Amino acid sequence: MEQVTFLVVDDAIFMRTVLKKLLTEAEFVVLGEAGNGLQAIEMAKALQPDIVTLDITMPEMNGLEAIEKILEVSPNSKIIMCSAMGQHSKVVEAIKRGAKDFIVKPFEKTRVLQAIYNVMNR
């Protein structure tokens, strides 16, 4: 199987670090990371990752606003939303806008891997 590549997007450096560690331990390739939706669009355009993990709540441009723009510049990328507990309505909105799955913070390794396999098999 080919290497699956990722762009990790979260305004919290700690959350990006946790997710990057989890992904690299599972032998995935993290191409880059971004701290807001605007950076995510630019990086998705340049890197064309297989999967973008996208936080909902971020400064400058939130994850919901970024979904469609990321898919415009990187149409083959699959988006997995990262949300805090209690953001169910925003997750539903994200799926409507084109996200393929979601994971809840704090991240559980089995759920993160399940979401990745879910979107890769679609």
For residue 10, what pLDDT is reported?
96
Residue located via tokens 């970024």? 66
For residue 36, what pLDDT is reported?
97
Task: Say what the alpha-carbon torsion angle 73, 76, 82, 88 is, to the nearest 10 degrees.
Answer: 100
For residue 2, what pLDDT is reported?
74
**pTM of the predicted model as reported, rounded to 2 decimal places:** 0.95
pLDDT tens digit sequence for 99-120: 999 999 888 999 999 999 999 9
N- to C-terminal Cα distance for the chain?
15
Quote the CA–CA distance of 118 and 100 in Å, as a whole number.
Answer: 8
pLDDT band at 62 (very low <50, low <70, confident <90, very high): very high
List residues bridging with 102 in a β-sheet.
81
